[in-house]
Amino acid sequence: MRIAFISDIHGSQFALESVLSDIENRKVDKVICLGDIATLGSQPKKTIEILQAIEADFVLGNNDEAIIDYQKANRSNIPKELIPSLEWTISRIGTNEIDFIKTFKNEIDLHINNNTNILCYHGSPKSNIDKVLYTTTEKNLDKMFQNKLASIYVGGHVHIQMKRYYKESLMINPGSVGFAFKQFPMPGKDPNLQTWAEYAILDVYKKVTIIEMYQVEFDIQRTIKSYENSDNPMKELYLKHIGIK
């Protein structure tokens, strides 16, 4: 089985279009989106419409949860400087888009064969705001993945492509479609946004698993222009991080 994983699109229409085109060319059997589809970016409604039109399974991200219920924004760990952009996103989408997000699952468990089961989530199975990084200790992983057994774990949230092992299991993060980070941002630090979109494909055979990480070019100038022409409160911050201002 050949599965494409996308995550953290964050309203980046042109990055999403490039990724989906690349996925189509690679002939996958299934697409799974790991959440955070609309906030921050300049094209939230169009991004959701594109995702509604494809055949895919969806996991609920922390930003998706905040869209459904704005009162959960604090619990969903949305930084205070990003709250105005969250409010802007909610104002730009309608009931149809919100109802679509309400169908997202907290996790997706796929049984592929006797050797392989895949558990998909946003942050971790415990919480969609947990951060699983290369540097996360096994002790902390034990807390996040307590009573959750899988041969392959796939999550998003941190916007960094990753492949590591946890005990005898493989852990994967496909990176971010809309906001790929060079490094995980620390307080006061620039995450150094990449000018490409990221995703991953997992090939599962009877006893062999192959993971491929992809970085896809997209029309960054068109994306910049869409921010400049919008009143998204995220505009100045995005242009600064991308190196424009």
SS3 for 75-123 is CCCCCHHHHHHHHHHHHHCCHHHHHHHHCCECCEEEEEECCEEEEECCC
The pairing of strands 152-154 and 209-217 is unpaired
Residue 121 pLDDT: 98
Residue 80 pLDDT: 86
Residue 169 pLDDT: 94
Residue 76 pLDDT: 73
What percentage of the chain carries pLDDT values higher than 90? 77
With b meaning 16 or more CB within 10 Å and e meaning fewer, what string describes 62-81?
A: bbbbbbbeeeebeebbbeee
What residue ranges of the chain have pLDDT lower than 50? none
Q: Is the separation of the CB atoms in 230 and 11 below 8 Å? A: no
What ranges do the domains of the chain cover? 2-108+174-241
Distances (CA, A) of 243 to 12, 22, 82, 211: 17, 26, 19, 31
d(CA 81, CA 225): 22
Residues 144-176: pLDDT tens digits? 999 899 999 999 999 999 999 999 999 999 999
d(CA 65, CA 69): 6
Name the CATH superfamily, with its identifier, for domain 2-108+174-241: Metallo-dependent phosphatases (3.60.21.10)
pTM summary value = 0.94
Residues 78-101: pLDDT tens digits? 888 889 999 999 999 999 999 999
